[in-house]
Amino acid sequence: MPTATVVGVLVNPASPDLMQALLLGLQPVADAIGVRLHVLHASTEADFDPVFASLSQIGVKALIVSPDSLFNALVARLGALSLRYAVPTIHEHRPFAAAGGLMSYSSDDV
């Protein structure tokens, strides 16, 4: 998404250390390329639909999903929502990409 100026970052506020580490790593990169990060919170699966429904309203053009255990357990649901809302989404694990996300970024588990 080379033209995206607003990128969402889906985090679980129940995992504050992971959330902080992710945002500390992403913010300097976002600043360097002129992208504004919009942090979105989900601590249960019930939070997913409202988060995805809000993306277009807040101008998010792409989404990064935190490597949180909640999100890891629900990659199929998150992939389906990425397709439904037509938002390019990146997640740590390959099954997410297979479920509808744009791509994954971890090592191969095979």
Q: Is position 109 within any domain?
A: no
How many domains does one find in the chain? 1
Q: Is position 110 within any domain?
A: no
Residue 82 belongs to domain spanning: 6-104
Q: Is position 76 within any domain?
A: yes
**77 pLDDT tier (thresholds 50, 70, 90):** very high
How far is Cα 56 from Cα 66, in angstroms, rounded to an integer? Answer: 20
CATH code of 54's domain: 3.40.50.2300
pLDDT at 2: 65
Q: Is position 35 within any domain?
A: yes
Averaged pLDDT for residues 40-66: 95
Q: Is position 21 within any domain?
A: yes
Q: Is position 12 within any domain?
A: yes
